Amino acid sequence: MTWVTDDNAALLTDLYELTMAASYHAQDMNEPATFDLFVRALPEHRNFLIACGLEEALDYLERFNFDDEGIGYLSSLGSFSDSFLSRLGELTFSGEVRAIAEGEAVFAEEPILSVTAPLIEAQIVESFLLNCITFQTMIASKAARVAISCKGRSFVDFSLRRDHGADAGVKAARAAFVGGAAATSNVLAGAFYGIPVNGTMAHSYVMAHEDEEHAFRTFMKDCPQGTVLIIDTFDVEEGARRAARVAHELAPQGIELRGVRIDSGDLANLTRSVRKILDEADLEQTKIILSGDLDEYQIERLIADQVPVDSFGVGTQLGTSGDQPALGGVYKLVADARGPKMKLSTGKGTLPGRKQVFRVSRNGTLDHDVIGLEDEVADGRPLLDCVMKGGRRTSPPDDLTSVRERCSKSLEALPERLLALNTNGGGYEVTTSPGLKDLIDRFGSHTPPMGSS
Amino acid sequence: MTWVTDDNAALLTDLYELTMAASYHAQDMNEPATFDLFVRALPEHRNFLIACGLEEALDYLERFNFDDEGIGYLSSLGSFSDSFLSRLGELTFSGEVRAIAEGEAVFAEEPILSVTAPLIEAQIVESFLLNCITFQTMIASKAARVAISCKGRSFVDFSLRRDHGADAGVKAARAAFVGGAAATSNVLAGAFYGIPVNGTMAHSYVMAHEDEEHAFRTFMKDCPQGTVLIIDTFDVEEGARRAARVAHELAPQGIELRGVRIDSGDLANLTRSVRKILDEADLEQTKIILSGDLDEYQIERLIADQVPVDSFGVGTQLGTSGDQPALGGVYKLVADARGPKMKLSTGKGTLPGRKQVFRVSRNGTLDHDVIGLEDEVADGRPLLDCVMKGGRRTSPPDDLTSVRERCSKSLEALPERLLALNTNGGGYEVTTSPGLKDLIDRFGSHTPPMGSS
């Protein structure tokens, strides 16, 4: 079967990375170069991003190598010299990585990751790093929006079945947890990352039984821990009454109905009816969980309408970042042995030089960021930390729960206007430092690539 | 590192599948059941889908098992009985799969895959099958739209960096190839599936050199096979003139400039200028390749405007199916030991029973499909074939090139109106057979879930 693993991940790159590397090899061009990975502009409707994916990126870099099978395949293409192929066979990643921590809020043009390594290494890892960081950052950012819309209620990642493949399944669950999901339905993600796993029941279970009430009774007896019954297989209100009857019947056995789930229909009105049915049956403690292609916009509306919902299952829209399914991450050469570099393509310029991002807060709330040069002295908290040196991590991986807490604190520190689901309040100010401005001027660009973000 | 592999793929499921399976186990409910995997409604702007992902689904089913580590994790959750856990430890997939071949056009409500297996097995594999089939079908369908928009010109999958994770990278490349891409930039996808790999050069290569002309000269010498130069790092027209100069300089050495790539700016006008510059330099054979967040709509417009472009690199929009990043695939119980099943949830009903899809053509063009019962006799080509029996494939995997040809023939057989990028021409007719209608009536539904598609 065709799985990406440590053994073949180095080959998960675009052919041109290897073609360019072959030329660098032929030219003996392998001085250290610095590439910044950043997002040119925030996607529509986004006021911020949540950095995510760094741990996987570092895992990849630490284990980076081409195995014999990979070299054999490259050789079969007939376009690489033996000298280059044997060089590749010995290649590891020996460089330095500076990065913004996972869970931290980031904005356009800010390097999420900055790689300094011999040119050949730095070039070949581009495709994987972009794939890994931009996808996970996109999902963590989406999850943070869902968390904001939930206003303290919990939500669970239900996205596995609509995620883009197997790896996206586990990575989306991880990124969703970082962004604020309480749990995931994805068992493997639970096993990999220690994320709480959570689940209810499907319509098929109800349909596999004689009738709904029989299905409810059996499920509650067999799975008595925190049972949630799905009540929309036939008729939601009838389902709620049946669930209530079974709950009363089984209460003497100590089995409690934790919740009911509604997955279709007019969720607002059905939730109100079901709440009434449950309350009238003295089941005030029984929660109502909503699902069914929900996103942060619908959740915001349900809560604004005071729908008595307790929590949400969010799938497709979370795991695919449905309204913005791609993040325009780029990985650009900003410095090499001859100094800072700057690309001037129309609309696709880059900020030159090795940088630092300084975050300036006032009274615990973010005020603005300054993108400056690495060695500049400036106010504010520097966000880019050295996380890898000589191809090895400088410290053990962050605990995922602490990453999640970092994200939660990041969101708390955002100015109120950035917590809206729209961008009407105006963006966040990101400026360039005097040192960076001077450097840009030296490249003779009259239109620096960045306005305010 | 946390990769999905054969050893842990069984755990890539939603927790509720296992909770339900635990209850089936406790109740000794394990009679064979049939689940259909289908799409309820075509996404907006889609006139058809291209079935894709079956090979991976069959690989997964053939290798399905829980290893000791997986069972250990499930045991640690504290919600499963030892009896169920030891049952899981021995579980393999022993069922039957009937499916529509990869590359075939499919429509709403048509089972792409139909699984008949002991209830516990059939239930647990749901999440993976949905993830695998809906993602790949979505990308193959998007690729087919891009192929249609290209009107005979070639396009290459450039999506790796924006795909949703590592597995999506290789699977998107495969699905794109099925849908009509000539090649992929993704080296690992080339190694896995034998897809032609293809690539040009990046801006960073130009920037790593003293100047653009020097970069062009070096690249053409070092990579003389089918060289494509990227000409928009600084100024496109100037880049084209430099490329032409270097091409003339190196022509005596037998090095040919195959093409130039433009990745930014006003692509239509720049392509016209560049074509003129190349033609005036007697480089009529040098191709122009366009890229830069292209999709089928932009390609259609460029070609309608008679822009002299030769081929396209399509990335983000192809690999994420940007305008429709999720496909609403579902997996529904349609029959069990007690006979056909039908779910009636509002807007989420299902067609009951074990089915066959009959495709009726007239003069080589598709006319309509009929969804009928498996044992019904009807006109038209039956699309669902038995591809797995007793948990083993009934025949070796299809060769990927023949799958791609099947897709190409499917597209050729579509009525003209379905080849539009919009749905203004009206959809394709999918009806239910007399036998299926009778069965629906027996469930007393006055509103069968399906209209015309």
CB-based contact (8 Å) between A128 and chain B?
yes
Per 3-state DSSP, what percentage of chain B is helix, strand, and coil (rounded to 5)? 40, 20, 40
CB-based contact (8 Å) between B27 and chain A?
yes
Cβ–Cβ pairs < 8 A, chains A and B? 354
Q: Could you say which residues from 227 to 246 on chain B have a Cβ atom under 8 Å away from some Cβ of chain A?
A: 232-234
| Res B185 pLDDT > 70 | yes
Q: Is A425 left (phi over 0), alpha (psi -120 to 50) or beta?
A: alpha
Residues in contact with A338: Cβ distance below 8 Å, sequence separation at least 6, in sequence order:
none
Cα dist from B446 to B91, B437, B441, B442, whole Å: 41, 11, 7, 10
Only one residue has tokens 């053409």, namely B220
Rounded Cα gap, residues B407 and B284, in angstroms = 33
Q: Could you say which residues from 368 to 427 on chain B have a Cβ atom under 8 Å away from some Cβ of chain A?
A: none
Sorting pLDDT into bands at 50, 70 and 90, what band is B443?
Answer: confident
Contact across the interface for B160 and A22, Cβ inside 8 Å: no
Test the A interface: residue of B83, B164, B334 with most A CBs within 10 Å? B164
CB-based contact (8 Å) between B197 and chain A?
yes
Give A-chain residues touching B202 at CB under 8 angstroms.
Answer: 16-17, 20, 126
Rounded Cα gap, residues A104 and A99, in angstroms = 11
Per 3-state DSSP, what percentage of chain A is helix, strand, and coil (rounded to 5)? 40, 20, 40
CA distance A306 to chain B (A): 23
Q: Tokens standing for B49?
A: 């889908």
pTM greater than 0.90 (yes/no): yes
Q: Tokens standing for B217?
A: 């000269």
Contact across the interface for B127 and A198, Cβ inside 8 Å: no
Strand, helix or coil for residue A191:
helix
Q: Could you say which residues from 276 to 315 on chain B have a Cβ atom under 8 Å away from some Cβ of chain A?
A: 293
Q: What residue type is A293 in one-letter code?
A: D
Q: Which residue of A has its CA nearest to B224?
A: A79
Cβ atoms of residues B214 and B440 within 8 Å: no
- Going by C-alpha positions, the residue among B159, B161, B153 that lies closest to residue B176 is B159
Give A-chain residues touching B222 at CB under 8 angstroms.
Answer: 22-23, 26-27
Specify the range with the lowest mean pLDDT, choosing from A381-390, A438-447, B128-137, B239-248: A438-447
CA distance A411 to chain B (A): 24
pLDDT (tens digit, 9 = 90+) per residue, A213-225? 999 999 999 998 8
Only one residue has tokens 């996103």, namely A295
Q: Tokens standing for A388?
A: 């890898």
- A245's enclosing H/E stretch is helix A236-250
- Greatest CA separation for chain B: 80
Q: Which residue of A has its CA nearest to B262?
A: A345
Cβ atoms of residues A6 and A97 within 8 Å: no
| Res B410 pLDDT > 50 | yes
Give A-chain residues touching B212 at CB under 8 angstroms.
Answer: none
**Out of B35, B190, B218, whose CB is closest to A27?**
B218
Q: Are strands B154-157 and B311-314 parallel, antiparallel or unpaired?
A: parallel
Contact across the interface for B15 and A168, Cβ inside 8 Å: no
Q: State the pLDDT at residue B445.
A: 53
Give B-chain residues touching A164 at CB under 8 angstroms.
Answer: 135, 163-165, 167-168, 171-172, 320, 325
pLDDT (tens digit, 9 = 90+) per residue, A382-430? 999 999 999 999 999 999 999 999 999 999 999 999 999 999 999 999 9
Output the CA torsion sign for A394, A395, A398, A403: negative
Q: What residue type is A284 in one-letter code?
A: E
pLDDT (tens digit, 9 = 90+) per residue, B54-86? 999 999 999 999 999 999 999 999 999 999 999
**Out of B8, B127, B168, whose CB is closest to A168?**
B168
Cα dist from B357 to A36, A127, B86, B378, B381, whole Å: 52, 41, 39, 10, 8
Percent of chain B's residues with pLDDT above 90: 92
Q: Which residue of A has its CA nearest to B193?
A: A2
| Res A453 pLDDT > 70 | no
**In this structure, which long-range contacts are made by residues B393-400, counting pairs with CB atoms below 8 Å and at least 24 apart in sequence?**
B393/B58, B393/B62, B397/B55, B397/B58, B398/B55, B398/B101, B398/B102, B400/B174, B400/B177, B400/B178, B400/B193, B400/B194, B400/B195
Strand, helix or coil for residue B283:
coil
Give DSSP secondary structure letters for A339-380. Answer: EE-----TT-----SSEEEEEEEETTEEEEEEEEETT---SS
Q: State the pLDDT at residue A188.
A: 98
Report the alpha-carbon angle B64-B70-B73, nearest 5: 155
| Res B316 pLDDT > 90 | yes
Give A-chain residues touching B19 at CB under 8 angstroms.
Answer: 199, 201, 223
Test the B interface: residue of A56, A188, A228, A344 with most B CBs within 10 Å? A188
CA distance A357 to chain B (A): 23
Cβ atoms of residues B146 and B295 within 8 Å: yes
CB-based contact (8 Å) between B447 and chain A?
no
Cβ atoms of residues A99 and A382 within 8 Å: no
Contact across the interface for A131 and B163, Cβ inside 8 Å: yes
Indicate the length of chain B as a whole number.
Answer: 453
Strand, helix or coil for residue A317:
helix
Rounded Cα gap, residues B49 and B289, in angstroms = 28
* DSSP code at position B372: E
Contact across the interface for A166 and B9, Cβ inside 8 Å: yes
Cβ atoms of residues A184 and A156 within 8 Å: yes
Contact across the interface for B12 and A77, Cβ inside 8 Å: no
Q: What residue type is B287 in one-letter code?
A: K
CA distance B203 to chain A (A): 8
**Out of B167, B205, B223, whose CB is closest to A168?**
B167
Give DSSP secondary structure letters for A201-262. Answer: --HHHHHTSSSHHHHHHHHHHH--SSEEEE--SS-HHHHHHHHHHHHHHHGGGT--EEEEEE
pLDDT (tens digit, 9 = 90+) per residue, B256-268? 999 999 999 999 9
CB-based contact (8 Å) between A177 and chain B?
no
Contact across the interface for B336 and A192, Cβ inside 8 Å: no
* DSSP code at position B43: P
What is the average pLDDT across B338-367? 88
Test the A interface: residue of B52, B131, B295 with most A CBs within 10 Å? B131
Sorting pLDDT into bands at 50, 70 and 90, what band is A445?
Answer: low
Give A-chain residues touching B65 at CB under 8 angstroms.
Answer: none
CATH of domain A151-319: 3.20.20.70
CA distance B124 to chain A (A): 11
Please give the mean pLDDT across all residues of chain B: 95
Count Cβ atoms below 10 Å from residue B1 Cβ, excluding itself. 13
Rounded Cα gap, residues A66 and A62, in angstroms = 13
Rounded Cα gap, residues B267 and B278, in angstroms = 16
CATH of domain B142-319: 3.20.20.70
pLDDT (tens digit, 9 = 90+) per residue, B272-301? 999 999 999 999 999 999 999 999 999 999
Q: Which stretches does DSSP call E strand in B220-354?
A: 227-230, 257-262, 287-290, 311-314, 329-336, 339-340
| Res B450 pLDDT > 90 | no
Torsion angles phi and psi, residue B352, rounded to 5: -80, 160
- Going by C-alpha positions, the residue among B324, B302, B313 that lies closest to residue B151 is B302
Cα dist from A271 to A262, A279, A289, B252, B255, whole Å: 8, 12, 9, 77, 71
| Res A102 pLDDT > 80 | yes
Q: State the pLDDT at residue A450.
A: 44
CA distance A380 to chain B (A): 31
Rounded Cα gap, residues A138 and A321, in angstroms = 7
CA distance A170 to chain B (A): 8
Q: Are strands A355-362 and A113-118 parallel, antiparallel or unpaired?
A: unpaired
Q: Tokens standing for A442?
A: 């030296």
CA distance B417 to chain A (A): 28
Q: Which residue of B has its CA nearest to A78?
A: B225
Radius of gyration of chain B (CA): 25
Helices (H), B156-226: 166-179, 187-193, 203-207, 212-222
End-to-end CA distance of chain B: 44
CB-based contact (8 Å) between B191 and chain A?
yes
CATH of domain A9-139+326-442: 3.20.140.10
CATH topology of domain B9-139+328-399+422-442: nicotinate phosphoribosyltransferase (3.20.140)
Q: Could you say which residues from 44 to 63 on chain A have a Cβ atom under 8 Å away from some Cβ of chain B?
A: 56, 59-60, 63
Rounded Cα gap, residues B183 and B154, in angstroms = 9
Q: Which residue of A has its CA nearest to B218?
A: A23
pLDDT (tens digit, 9 = 90+) per residue, A48-98? 999 999 999 999 999 999 999 999 999 999 999 999 999 999 999 999 999
**Out of B8, B207, B264, whose CB is closest to A188?**
B8
Cα A193 → chain centroid: 14
CA distance A298 to chain B (A): 18
Q: State the pLDDT at residue B1.
A: 65
Count Cβ atoms below 10 Å from residue B447 Cβ, excluding itself. 9
CA distance B380 to chain A (A): 31
**Out of A5, A171, A347, whose CB is closest to B264?**
A347
CB-based contact (8 Å) between A173 and chain B?
no
Contact across the interface for B131 and A162, Cβ inside 8 Å: yes
What is the average pLDDT across B419-441? 95
Q: Give the start-to-end residue ranges of the domains of chain B.
A: 9-139+328-399+422-442, 142-319
CB-based contact (8 Å) between B265 and chain A?
yes
Q: What residues pair up with B98 in beta bridges, in sequence order?
A: B114, B386
CA distance B381 to chain A (A): 30
CB-based contact (8 Å) between A337 and chain B?
no
Q: State the pLDDT at residue A347.
A: 65
Domains A9-139+326-442 and A151-319 share a fold: no
pLDDT (tens digit, 9 = 90+) per residue, B205-222? 999 998 999 999 999 999
CA distance B358 to chain A (A): 26
- Going by C-alpha positions, the residue among B414, B369, B430, B427 that lies closest to residue B148 is B414
Q: Are strands A311-314 and B355-362 parallel, antiparallel or unpaired?
A: unpaired
Rounded Cα gap, residues A419 and A218, in angstroms = 44
Sorting pLDDT into bands at 50, 70 and 90, what band is A451?
Answer: very low
